[in-house]
Structure 1
């Protein structure tokens, strides 16, 4: 599910693969692997999720069980 959320999150935030990789301190290949649905170490996934949340996004599981993202309101 994180693979689809990552794509949706990048689109919502206007981030490219390189941008997210830099924020998460991982390689661009790691982001591409995640978005292809390849298995990554839990710590790597947590680093990417934390970077997205720091950038202003919340990863959510929707009521129907599907993936979702939500932009936080700017203060």
Structure 2
């Protein structure tokens, strides 16, 4: 299941990444990330990459739509 725009925004804030940090880590432009967070059109591949980076930084996406953080 791919994340929603609001989950992306919540997760990015929860793990402490800026737009620039997350975009750089995912290999996408800040404009593309802004489109993701603004519910714009992006490919599922791009969205999956952003989700993968957020998970690597500790974000946990729950089925109820909420977002948590898993810290080591």
> Which structure: greater strand fraction?
1
- Contiguous gaps of at least 5 residues in structure 1: none
Normalising by structure 1, we get a TM-score of: 0.85
Runs of 4+ that moved beyond 2 A = none
User: Quick check: which has more Rg, 1 or 2?
Assistant: 1
RMSD of aligned Cα (Å): 1.2
Which has the bigger relative contact order, CA under 8 A and spacing at least 6? 2
Normalising by structure 2, we get a TM-score of: 0.88
- Contiguous gaps of at least 5 residues in structure 2: none
Give the superposition deviation at 1:58: 1.5
Count of aligned pairs: 70
